[in-house]
Amino acid sequence: MLMKAMDARKKAEERERLKQEKKDEKRLNKERKLELRRLELEIAKELKKPNDDMCLADHKVFIMRLLRIETRRYEKRRYEKRWFSYRKDGHDS
């Protein structure tokens, strides 16, 4: 009789554990669905916002590249002016 009581208790504990696992799984699934729904709403909200074509997200990088290009152009012009003035003075090779 003691064995039957122990077996019954083990089975009841196992059922309770499985029941709790199912509850936890349902709760996690519900939380995941809510999170996905929140993200979808946030994305939809962002898509509805007006998008300004003139706005640059990485404007600092763009400005640095532009400055580098302009610096190179300026140096090239300075070099050309020196070179052509040197050639005009009759120092051709």
What's the pTM? Answer: 0.44
Structural domain for 39, as ranges:
1-49
User: Number of folded domains in the chain?
Assistant: 2
In the structure, what pLDDT confidence band is assigned to residue 57 with cuts at 50, 70 and 90? low
Average pLDDT, the chain: 80
Same domain, 2 and 28: yes
Please name the residues in contact with 56: beta carbons below 8 A apart, sequence gap of 6 or more. Answer: 62
On whether the CB atoms of residues 86 and 80 are closer than 8 A, the answer is no
Same domain, 44 and 59: no
Same domain, 39 and 57: no
Same domain, 17 and 45: yes
Same domain, 1 and 45: yes
More confident residue, 18 or 67: 18
More confident residue, 28 or 46: 28
Helix, strand, coil in percent for the chain, rounding step 5: 85, 0, 15
Same domain, 38 and 70: no
Q: CA dist 48 to 40, 43, 44, Å? A: 12, 9, 6
**What percentage of the chain exceeds 90 in pLDDT?**
38
Same domain, 88 and 59: yes
Is the pLDDT at 88 greater than 90, yes or no?
no
Is the pLDDT at 12 greater than 90, yes or no?
yes
